[in-house]
Structure 1
Amino acid sequence: MLAQIDVEFREQILNDYQGVSECQVCDKPDYLVPIREVAFSFFQESGFPTLKNEDWKYTPVKRYLNEPFEVDQEDTNTIAPADAPYFGKQLPGYKIVMINGRFDPEQSELPDSSQCTIAPIIDVLREPTVKERLSKSRNYGANPFLAMNTALFTKGIYIHIPKNVKIDHPIHLVHYAGGEQKQFNITKNIFVVEEGGEAEIIESYYHSGHAPVSFRNSATEILVEPNATLHHIKLQKAHSNLRMVEHTEVEQKQDSLYNNYTFTLPGMNFVRNNLNLDINGSNIESHMYGLYLTNENQLVDNHTLVNHREPDCESNQLYKGILTDRSRAVFNGKVYVHSIAQKTNAFQQNNNILFSDDAAIYSKPQLEIFADDVKCSHGSTIGQLDDEALFYLRARGLSKADAQSMLVNAFAFDVTEKLVDEEIKAMLNEEIDKVMTGVIS
C-alpha cells in the first residue's frame, strides 16, 4: 500500500523504522517494542488513507504527500529565529520551543521544576504514566497516520503537572518547522495533569515560508486525573508550506474538566485535526470549541469523537466555519453514549458561512446513544450572511463591508467568548477583523 507515495519517501519511512528498531543507543523499553511492531505492521499494510476510507472521504491526502520528504531528518543545526513572528508571540507565559519536533531547552523559558516536569519524550519512556499512555489501544483504522506516528516517533515533549499544583502562567508550546530539505516530522507528546492540578497549554506554529515544504504528523496523549483541569488551546496559523495532521487522545477521570479550543486561520494549506475524548468517570465536563476561517485552496478537516462511558457527565461541541475563495472544510463529529452512561448531557453543533460559490463544507454530526435517560442533541447549518440583518445594518448607515464584518464577528463570538484567556480572545478578534477586511473590502 505504500506504493501510493513517492519512492524516495517510501524508502525513507522503511529505513527510519529499521533505524528505530535497530538503534543501539536508543532507549527501547520492552513494553514498547511490540507496540511499535503492531503499529508499523498495520501502517505498512494499509498505507496512508485514501478516499475509500470513510473517515478520509473528503480529504485527499495523497496530493500533500507526494514529495521526496526526509523523515525526521537530524536538525541539530536548525535554530528558531528569535524574531520569528509566530501567531501568539505576544502572549505572556512560559515557552517551550520545539524545532521539527525536537525540544530545544536553550531557547525555551521553563517554569520551575517544582511546578511541573518537562522533558523530551524519548528520555521518559520508562515513566509509569508514559508507559500507561503508550500502551493504550488505539483505532489505527480511523487514522493510519497515528499508526505511523506510534511506530516511528523519537521526538516530542512530556509535560507532567504534579498533584494539586496549579501552574501560575500558561505553558506555550511553539512548534517551528524548517530545514534545507523537505521535512516529514513525527512528534509524540504526552500531557499529564495529576489529581487537583490545573494548567493552560497553548500551541502555536511557525514556518518561515522560505524553507521547503514541511509535513507535521503529531500525536498527543493527555490524561486529566480526578478534580484536575486542563485548558488546551491550538492557534493554527502558519505559512502554506506547512501541512499538518494532529491527533489528540484525551482520557478524563471523575470530576475533571477539559477545555479544548482549536482555531484554524488562513495559512497552512492542509490541516487535519482528530480529537478523541474518553470520558472515564462520573461528574466530568468536556468542552470542545472550534473556529476555522479558510481562504484560497485551504483544506481544514476536524474530526471529533466523544465516548461517554460513565453516568452524570456533560460534553459540549461547538464548531463554526467561515469559508472564502476555493477553500474546503470538513466537520465530522460523533458522540457515543454507552448503556451505563445514564444522565448524560451531550451537545454538538456545527455552523458554517460560505463567502464564495466555490467554497465547500462537508458536515456530519452524529449521535449513537445506548442509554435511555439522557439529553443529547446535534445539528448543522450551512448558509450565507443573513440578508435581512445585513439590510438592517446598512439602513442605519454602515457600509456593506462594515456591516458584513460586524455580522461575521457576531457569528464567531459564540466560540471566542468561551475563552477564559482574555488576551487570546482579543488577539483572535483582531485577526478575524483583519482577515475579513481583506475578504469583503
Structure 2
Amino acid sequence: MTSDMTLPLYQTLTADETALSAQVSLAGDNLQDIRRTALERFKAIGLPTLKTEEWRFTNIQRYLKEFSYEFLHSAVQVSADTVAPATIAGLDCYRIVLVNGHLETALSELPAGKGITIGALSAHTTAPGFTTWFNEQPHLASAVLAQLNTALFADGLYIELAANTVLEKPVHIVHVYTSNTPAFVQPRHLWVLNRCAAATIIETTVHPNSQAVTFANSVLETVVMENAELWHYNVQQGAENFREVHTTAAQQYKDSRYHHYNFTLPNTPFTRNNLSVALKGSHTETNLKGIYLANKHQHVDNHTFMDHIMPDCYSNELYKGVLLDSSNAVFTGKILVHQEAQKTNAFQQNNNLLLGDKADINSQPQLEIYADDVKCSHGFTAGQFSEESMFYLRSRGIGEDAAKALMVNAFSHDITNDVSIPELQQHLQDQIAGIMNN
C-alpha cells in the first residue's frame, strides 16, 4: 500500500510550509483564513487509505500515484468545437461552459434578469449569499478531499436566485477538463435558491481525447431554502484521460424539494461521488436517484448520506448499477435519523446487474435511527439477467447483444423515465442503448 508520504501530491502539499502558504495565497481573495484552516484539517487527517472506513473499498492512492500531477489554477481557452459533443439534441436551455472550473463567457449563454445572479465564483466572494453559505454545509468538515478543495480551489460557478425567482428554462452546465500535462484541478461551486425559487440544472462533461490526464477534485454546495425546488441532473460522461472525486453537499429548509439524479457512464477509470443532504427544516422532500454503467477495469464509488435532522421529512433513494467486463463498483448509502426527526419516512435501495465475468460490487446500505416514530427501509440486490427473460427474447429472433440492451433499458427504466426533461431523457436512453450495442 502506498503511504501518503511517498505520493508526490502529498509531498507538494506538506513538505515546504513556505510553498504551501504561497499555494493557498494564489487566489488572492478574502478567504485566506478559511483556506488555511481547511489546509490544516487536510494535513491532520491525511489522504484516505484502505484503512479509512469510508474508503475501505476504494484505493484512491493508486490513481494519485499514476502521475506527478501539477496543480492547475489558470484558465485554459477552448473552441466551440470542443464543447459541441455536450449538446443535448432539441434541448432549449441556457448554456454555461466551465473549463477546469473557470467560466468561459464567450461560449456561454447565461440567464439574466431580476433576481438572477450567475457568474464566476471568484467574482462573488463578497455577495451576501456567498458570505452566508460558503463552506457552511456541516458534512464538509470531515471530508478530507473537500478540505483540500476549500484550501486550493481557483474558481467555479456561483448561482443565486432571489426569493420567488423561477428559471423558465433549464441551465446546462458543460464542464470541460483539459490540460497539456497531468493536472490536478479543484473546481468549487455554490448554488443558492432562496425562498420559493425554482431551477433545473443539468451538468455534463467533455474531455478532449488528445490531452493529458486530468484529476478533478470538485465540490458543489447547494442551498435550497423554504419552499424552493431544485432539479439537479449530473451526467458523468466517461473518458480514459479523466479521474474524478465529485462532492455534492446540499442543505434543505422547510417545505423544500430537492431532486438529484446522477448518471455515471463508461470509460473513466476512477469516479468517486460523495453526496450528502442535511435536512434542516421540516416537511422536506428529497429524491436521490442514480445509474452507474461501468466497463473495462472502471471503478465507480457512490457514497451517499441522508441526514434527517428535523421531523416530518421524506427521502427516497434508488441507485442501480450495470457492471460490464472487469469493472467494479461501491455503493455506501447511510441514513441518519436524529432523535428530533420524528415521523421520518426514509427509503433506500441499491440494485445491480453483474454482466462481466469479473465484475464486482460492494454495497453497504446503513440505517442509524434515534427516533421511535419513523418508517425507514433499505435493501440491496445483485445478480445477472433472468435466463427466462433472455430465452423469451432470443426465441423471438432477437440477437444476444440486442436482448441485453433491451434488458438493461428495462432495468434502468424506472430512473430514466423519471427524468422530467424529455430531451434529456431521450439523450440518456440513447447513450445507454449505444453503450450496450457496442
Please name the residue that 1:145 is paired with.
Answer: 145
After superposition, give the CA deviation of every residue in 1:137-171 in whole Å (9 maximum; x if it has no partner): 64467531111011111211101111111101111
Provide the residue aligned with 2:202 in structure 1: 202
Match of 2:37 in 1: 38
Question: What CA distance in whole angstroms lies between the structure 1 residues aligned with 2:50 and 2:123?
Answer: 38
Cα deviation, 1:193-232, whole Å, max 9, x if unaligned, reads: 1111110111111111210000111001100011111000
1:238-277 aligned at under 5 Å gives the runs 238-277=238-277
**Over aligned residues, Cα RMSD in angstroms?**
2.1
Shift of 1:26: 2.0
> Does structure 1 residue 19 correspond to structure 2 residue 22?
yes
Distance 2:199 2:112 in 1: 14
Aligned residue identity for 1:315: S
For 1:281, the equivalent position in structure 2 comes to 281
State TM-score, norm by structure 2: 0.94
Instruction: Please say if residues 260 and 289 of structure 2, whose CA atoms lie closer than 8 Å, have aligned partners that are also in contact.
Output: yes
| TM-aligned CA distance change 1:12 to 1:120, over 3 Å | farther
Gap runs ≥5 in structure 2: none
Distance of aligned partners of 1:129 and 1:16 in 2 relative to their CA distance in 1, 3 Å threshold:
farther
User: Could you tell me how far 1:374 is from its partner in structure 2?
Assistant: 1.0
CA, structure 1 residues 296+272, in 2 after alignment: closer, same or farther (shift >3 Å)? same
Match of 2:130 in 1: 130
Q: How does 1:80-95 map to 2 (within 5 A)?
A: 80-90=79-89, 91-95=91-95
Amino acid at match of 2:281: G
SS in 1 for 2:39: helix
1-structure distance, mates of 2:198, 2:236: 23
Aligned to 2:417: 417
Distance 2:199 2:140 in 1: 29
Say whether the 8 Å CA contact 1:346–1:377 is kept in structure 2: yes
1:96-175 superposed matches below 5 A: 96-114=96-114, 116-136=116-136, 138-139=138-139, 142-175=142-175
| Matching residue's letter, 1:394 | R
Q: Which amino acid is the alignment partner of residue 58 of structure 2?
A: T
Does the Cα contact within 8 Å between 1:87 and 1:237 map onto a contact in 2? Answer: no
What does residue 56 of structure 1 align with? 55
- What code does the residue aligned with 2:63 have? Y
C-alpha contact 1:212 1:241 (8 A) present in aligned 2: yes
Q: What is aligned with 1:432?
A: 432
The number of residues matched between the two structures is: 433
User: Which shows bigger deviation, 182-191 or 60-69?
Assistant: 60-69
Q: 1:355 and 1:135, CA in 2 relative to 1: closer, same or farther beyond 3 A?
A: closer
Q: Does 1:6 align with 2:8?
A: yes
Question: Structure 2: how far apart are the matches of 1:2 and 1:83?
Answer: 36
Distance in 1 separating the partners of 2:95 and 2:35: 31
Q: Return the letter of the residue paired with 2:155.
A: K
Secondary structure at the counterpart of residue 230 of structure 2: strand
d(CA) in 2 for partners of 1:135, 1:7: 24
One-letter amino acid of the structure 1 residue matched with residue 129 of structure 2: T
> Cα 1:354–1:135, aligned 2, differ >3 Å: closer, same or farther?
closer
Deviation at 1:85, TM superposition (A): 4.3
Among all aligned residue pairs of Structure 1 and Structure 2, give the percentage whose two residues are the same amino acid.
38
Distance in 1 of aligned mates of 2:241 and 2:313: 41
CA contact (8 A) 2:327 2:360 kept: yes
1 CA distance for matches of 2:214 and 2:259?
A: 29
Partner deviation per Cα, 1:206-259 (whole Å, 9 max, x = no partner): 111210000111001100011111000001003210111110110001111100
Letter in 2 for 1:33: Q
Structure 1 pair 85–300 and aligned structure 2 pair: CA distance change class (3 A): farther
Deviation for aligned residue 1:303: 0.4
Question: Alpha-carbon deviation of 1:46?
Answer: 2.9
2:403 corresponds in structure 1 to 403
Partner SS state of residue 389, structure 1? helix
Q: Residue 230 of structure 2 corresponds to which residue in structure 1?
A: 230
Per the TM alignment, residue 400 of structure 1 is displaced from its structure 2 partner at its CA by: 2.8
Any conservation in 1 of the 2:137–2:251 contact (CA below 8 Å)? no
Matched residue of 1:82: which SS?
helix
Using the alignment, how far apart are the partners of 1:120 and 1:20 within structure 2? 20
Q: What residue in structure 2 maps to residue 332 of structure 1?
A: 332
Indicate if the aligned counterparts of 1:216 and 1:243 stay in contact, CA closer than 8 A.
Answer: yes
Change (3 A) 1:300 1:340: same
Which residue is equivalent to 1:183?
183
Answer whether contact 1:100 1:176 (CA < 8 A) is retained: yes
Matches within 5 A, 1:329-408: 329-408=329-408
Partners of 1:282 and 1:139 in 2: how far apart? 19
Residue identity matched to 2:272? R
Question: Measured at CA, do residues 176 and 254 of structure 1 come closer, stay the same or move farther in structure 2, by a change above 3 Å?
Answer: same
Q: Which moved more, 1:425-434 or 1:315-324?
A: 425-434
Amino acid at match of 1:291: I
Deviates more, 1:398-407 or 1:221-230: 398-407
- 1:378-408 C-alpha deviation (Å, 9 max, x unpaired): 0000110011222233334433333222211
Between the aligned partners of 2:374 and 2:381, the Cα distance in structure 1 is 24
Secondary structure (helix, strand or coil) at the match of 2:307 reads strand
Structure 1 residue 81: deviation in Å? Answer: 3.8
Give TM-score, length-normalised by structure 1.
0.93
* Equivalent position amino acid for 1:114 in 2: K
Aligned counterpart, 1:296:
296
Q: Which moved more, 1:111-120 or 1:412-421?
A: 111-120
**Structure 1: where are the runs of 5+ without partners?**
none
- Is residue 8–residue 68 contact of structure 1 (8 Å, CA) maintained in 2? no
Deviation at 1:18, TM superposition (A): 1.9
Residue deviations 1:94-126 (CA, integer Å, cap 9, x gap) = 111111111111221111242511121122112
